[in-house]
Structure 1
Amino acid sequence: MQNVLIVGAGTGGSILLDLLQNLDFMNVLAIIDTDEEAPGIIHAKEIGIAYGIDWKNYLTTDVHIIFDVTGKESVFAELLAARPNHTLLIPGSVANLLVKLLKENDTYIKRIRVEMHKQRMIFDSVEEGMIGINHEGNVNFFNKSASRMTGVPITEAIGKPITEVIPSTELPRVFLARKQELNRELILGNGMEIVTSRYPLFDHVGNIVGAFAVFKDITGVLALAEEITDLNKVKTMLEAIIHSSDDAISVVDDMGNGILVNPAYTRITGLTENEVIGKPANADISEGESIHMQVLKSRKPVRGVNMRIGENNREVIVNVAPIIVDHQVKGSVGVIHDITEMRNLMKELDQARTIIRKLESTYTFDDIFGVSPDIEIAVDQAKLAAKSNLPVLLRGETGVGKELFAHAIHSSSERRFNKFIRVNCAAMDPNRLETTLFGSVESTSQSGQRKQGLLEESEQGTLFLDEITDLPLDSQEKLLVFLKEGILYNIGSAQPIQLSVRIITATSKKLEKAMNEGRFNEELYYFLNRIAIHITPLRSRKKDIPFIIEHLLVKLNQEFGMNVKRITREALDRLMDYEWAGNVRELENVISRAMIYMGSSEMVLGLEDIIKSLYSDGNEAEEQILPEKSTLASIMDGHEKTILETALRENKGNKSLTATRLGISLRSLYYKLEKFSLI
């Protein structure tokens, strides 16, 4: 480390200070100038570097280099006479040259990094997998497509021997033979069929330095090639598919004139073939512009457009794509969905999803998005937990994704092919919760009829107990017995039942407080804490928001039948500034409402849509006046306390009636009353 003294804090001295600060081997002791308002002095104050008006006060034996950028010969002469023998004095002309060289070096480095980033983006954007090895046979290049096709993460592939990443690889042989191999077929370890070309890599003097492979998935291509053997048969099959489809299909030529419609089209629009074939593309539109004509002009598909078509003025959703042959637009094909039918199907689908999600896990670790250290640590802990059968405790605020983590742990465990059952302890009647979990035997019945509980239904699977703090103490003791011994006793029976069930619990409340107050079993607390995973709130990991939004757009596009491709920078900035008291769940609700506010053909989520969603009561954000020094949490708490006081007053202090009036459990009401000191 070289200690440096800069004499002269003008423009040159300021630039020199800025450059030297970024060098690991340079330590600027101080910068000197008789003008305390010089740019270098001001900059030194900002970054905490010592400064002064007399260099003699700073010239010690610790100084290795002095830069004289005053431009005065007298100052240079004085410095030359006063400097220690080991101290190097660099005049202004040399210093200026050094500044210029350092700036050019910094500029070149930045350019190189930008070019490297661009090249990496290009390689990661292509469909073909690309793998490179060095002269030792270790992987030194691995793009995203290669990772996707091989199933090996990039971080696990880089630096590893190529034979460990792809055991069947021929790259080492190409390296030794120094000859390229083109279009060779290969089957990867996961069964994927690829066609690959391999090339030796040489440096500028002809020495071999590695080898490189480019490959493409041909599994689908081979399957299709085997099936398509007769073009006439294919044509007949395609026509049969189009005419048998329940979706209305219309095709126009490159001039926008109709050339094909199917029976479903006639049924939905009320128009016959003779009324459409050979007619302009807007012949079937009751209002608005023809999407066929838009697609022919733009050469790009348009999806999820709400329109009214036909004589009956029926409301439909239209998807239209161009037909491109040899890089020329030959026409376009549209698929029309009747919204009435779709709504019925979506309602049935939502019902089916609700049932399925109660019975089995539907999420994996791939559904957890974020790059912040906190979420990465939580995911790593959850992946480790998935490999064991120990109980897991998930902690975090409401809406952070505890259930998502529980699903992911189950999906990655050995129990993934068996049931995943979720129980919200806070939402169930405490008197029924015990029998719901552990089952019961009716003692009054002569036959002793037995009712199976959710623990038995979860045999060989996973039982997720959400809001475990609301589990009654008696049930906590029974759960502890099951966790310790693997034995279950039905309520009203002394007959033990041996079970193997993975228990995952979650809470948004303070377990320690509940334990200290005697509301939570201490032994159960320590048993559950063997694997405890804390999921941080969204406001503490806001850099994850763009990644979560990208995932939500894909998910909500499918649910709403829309085609929103991105969110504007201004809209994203507004979401990044928000505090997210409801965490990821609140973020999904905001994006959902914003997409509903959008026009049917819009593809970009803008600031206006986000503002409408955040302030859905109709008031603009700018009209909201917040109390001084208040946070969203404090405002929400104050509002909740007012509602509780009003409800208690209306029901003359009766807690049971108050809980019924507010639509919450009596246990939840007592928790809230205690929180706001209302009891």
Structure 2
Amino acid sequence: MEKFTHSLLDLHNLNLVVDNLKLGVMAHTTERIITVFNKEAEKITGYSKKEVLGKDCHDVFQAPFCGSKCSFCNDSPKLSAGTKEYPVTIVTKTGETRHLEMTVYCIPDHEGEIQGVVASFRDMTDSIRLSLKAEDLSNFAGIIGKDKGMQDIFRQIRDVALYNYPVHVSGETGTGKERVAYAIHDISSYGNGSFVPVNCGAIPEGIVESELFGHVKGAFSGAVKERQGRFELAHKGSLFLDEVAELPLKTQVKLLRFLQEGSFEKVGGEKNISVDVRIISATNKDLAEEVRAGRFREDLYYRLNVIPIHLPPLRERKNDIPLLAEHFLREAEKETKKSVPKLAPDTIREMMDYHWPGNVRELKNVIQFSVVRARGNVILPTDLPFVASNRQPMRPLLSNEPSESGAQFTRGKLNQENVQAALVKTGGNKSKAARVLGVGRATLYRFLGEHPEIKSFSDTF
């Protein structure tokens, strides 16, 4: 009896501790039956203990509480001991959308069999809102950026996630259109479903309709069985139509019909199929110009472009370059599981001077290249691929005499005559010479270091 009383006291004390945590805590069995639900969880979700204890987690919240990363959506869940951490968006009992930081831990028994899970979560909604208001958020839903333009995009993503309106993301190649599309999906109520990306420009024209809408058996030569299209695969989730401007006009008509009616027919079929799908499209082309050129339907343009989001090129948000570079270095460190070299100050300046035609994608590739190329624990300017490839073979120095002070030079071009003329013009001031040449200071210093005959001339000033 005494042992039993102690057990009750221990359980009571444990409940007191859990209830006083500033984290929401929920635990459930492998059958998803909720066994623990503390006061902070009640506050965050709007559900009381009486409403949830002893009930199926999916039934209570009308969807997986852990979002698309739930391990208990199948009859035979694949579970492993350990901790998972990720953001998730929930809908409270009163219909509010809340953004949480979730940590899920699988509980094994003495033999290693999983007995259930414990989820702890923190409400980050107000923190995100305040950070956006203060323009002090550097990472939102996996997107990196502190530039004002990116802060505006974070607000758009947060606002549009609450509604099921079509979103069109535009921007140059490499600006991160798919990442924005996934962020919209992930923090919306559709985040519990699948995110299905389709590169419309990569699908041969003859099969694009079948790829999107599926086909019935015998619809065409080679259709030996019925096939689901991307729309069906994205049911209760999001369909991302990348390079949507590349869709053939015939397929555009069928897409327009789906947007108007919410249903479609498979290729060769007669049955109307309805699916609940969020449509997010993207292109690096000017869709309005495509409409004027007759390559894109005007009515479809207005249906897709309900909420436009335009991503700025990296050259228009250069202050984000050091932040992105550090992020990609941390990614490289995680992938290689060993320390990676750091960026030298001159290297960062060189990167800030570069025009980045490939945008964020090119920056990521540059960091990966530089990590491999670097010798030692510092990435030097010469380790950057665009610096290495821009080296030009120099003519032998014909004279140690400087060019006349009135000599002309070509801006942006490094050769012996240009550099000498610029140094004469600026009185030997290397920083000013770099500016008039239109190159980074580190680039000029490196060039002078590789050509000591010019350096000795410049040092006489």
TM-score, with length taken from structure 1: 0.37
1:187 aligned counterpart, secondary structure: coil
- How far, CA to CA, are the matches of 1:565 and 1:191 in structure 2? 40
Choose the corresponding residue for 2:374, options 591, 598, 604: 598
C-alpha displacement of 1:596: 0.4
Is the counterpart of residue 438 in structure 1 residue 438 in structure 2? no
1:394 aligned counterpart, secondary structure: strand
- How far, CA to CA, are the matches of 1:468 and 1:616 in structure 2? 36
- How far, CA to CA, are the matches of 1:566 and 1:499 in structure 2? 49
- How far, CA to CA, are the matches of 2:140 and 2:394 in structure 1? 41
CA deviations on 1:520-543 (whole Å, 9 max, x unpaired) are 111111111110000000000100
- 1:558 alignment counterpart: 334
- 1:161 alignment counterpart: none
Name which structure has the greater RCO, CA cutoff 8 Å, separation 6+.
2
- How far, CA to CA, are the matches of 2:269 and 2:388 in structure 1? 54
- How far, CA to CA, are the matches of 2:393 and 2:142 in structure 1? 35
Contact 2:197–2:239 (CA<8 Å) still a contact in 1? Answer: yes
- How far, CA to CA, are the matches of 1:466 and 1:616 in structure 2? 33
1:451 aligned counterpart, secondary structure: coil
- 2:383 alignment counterpart: 609
- How far, CA to CA, are the matches of 2:339 and 2:236 in structure 1? 41
- 2:21 alignment counterpart: 187
Choose the corresponding residue for 1:535, options 311, 317, 322: 311
Choose the corresponding residue for 1:369, options 126, 135, 144: 144
**Amino acid corresponding to residue 379 of structure 2 in structure 1:** L
**Amino acid corresponding to residue 173 of structure 2 in structure 1:** T
**Amino acid corresponding to residue 172 of structure 2 in structure 1:** E
2:191 aligned counterpart, secondary structure: coil
Contact 2:341–2:371 (CA<8 Å) still a contact in 1? Answer: no
C-alpha displacement of 1:603: 3.2
Contact 2:341–2:374 (CA<8 Å) still a contact in 1? Answer: no
C-alpha displacement of 1:607: 2.3
- How far, CA to CA, are the matches of 1:621 and 1:630 in structure 2? 13
1:450 aligned counterpart, secondary structure: coil
- 1:291 alignment counterpart: none
CA deviations on 1:537-582 (whole Å, 9 max, x unpaired) are 0000100111111111111112233312631211100000000000
1:506 aligned counterpart, secondary structure: strand
Is the counterpart of residue 620 in structure 1 residue 391 in structure 2? yes
Contact 1:365–1:405 (CA<8 Å) still a contact in 2? Answer: no
Is the counterpart of residue 516 in structure 1 residue 292 in structure 2? yes
- 1:464 alignment counterpart: 240
TM-score, with length taken from structure 2: 0.54
Summarize the Cα distance change of 1:435–1:534 in structure 2 as closer, same or farther, 3 Å threshold.
same
- How far, CA to CA, are the matches of 1:621 and 1:413 in structure 2? 51
2:240 aligned counterpart, secondary structure: strand
Is the counterpart of residue 398 in structure 1 residue 173 in structure 2? yes
| Residue correspondences, number | 270
Is the counterpart of residue 486 in structure 1 residue 320 in structure 2? no
- How far, CA to CA, are the matches of 1:483 and 1:504 in structure 2? 12
1:415 aligned counterpart, secondary structure: helix
2:178 aligned counterpart, secondary structure: helix
- 1:257-406 alignment, distance < 5 Å: 365-406=140-181
- How far, CA to CA, are the matches of 1:506 and 1:444 in structure 2? 30
- How far, CA to CA, are the matches of 1:623 and 1:504 in structure 2? 51
Contact 1:538–1:583 (CA<8 Å) still a contact in 2? Answer: yes
Summarize the Cα distance change of 1:630–1:476 in structure 2 as closer, same or farther, 3 Å threshold.
farther
Summarize the Cα distance change of 1:622–1:413 in structure 2 as closer, same or farther, 3 Å threshold.
farther
Identical pairs, percent: 38
2:150 aligned counterpart, secondary structure: helix
Contact 1:482–1:488 (CA<8 Å) still a contact in 2? Answer: yes
1:581 aligned counterpart, secondary structure: coil
- 1:118-137 alignment, distance < 5 Å: none
- How far, CA to CA, are the matches of 1:366 and 1:606 in structure 2? 31
- How far, CA to CA, are the matches of 1:465 and 1:629 in structure 2? 42
C-alpha displacement of 1:616: 4.7
1:551 aligned counterpart, secondary structure: helix
- 1:576 alignment counterpart: 352
- How far, CA to CA, are the matches of 1:546 and 1:591 in structure 2? 11
Q: Which runs of 5+ in 2 are unaligned?
A: 1-18, 27-138, 396-408, 414-461
**Amino acid corresponding to residue 452 of structure 1 in structure 2:** Q
Give the ranges of 4+ consecutive aligned residues of structure 1 lying more than 4 Å apart after TM superposition.
Answer: 621-624, 627-631
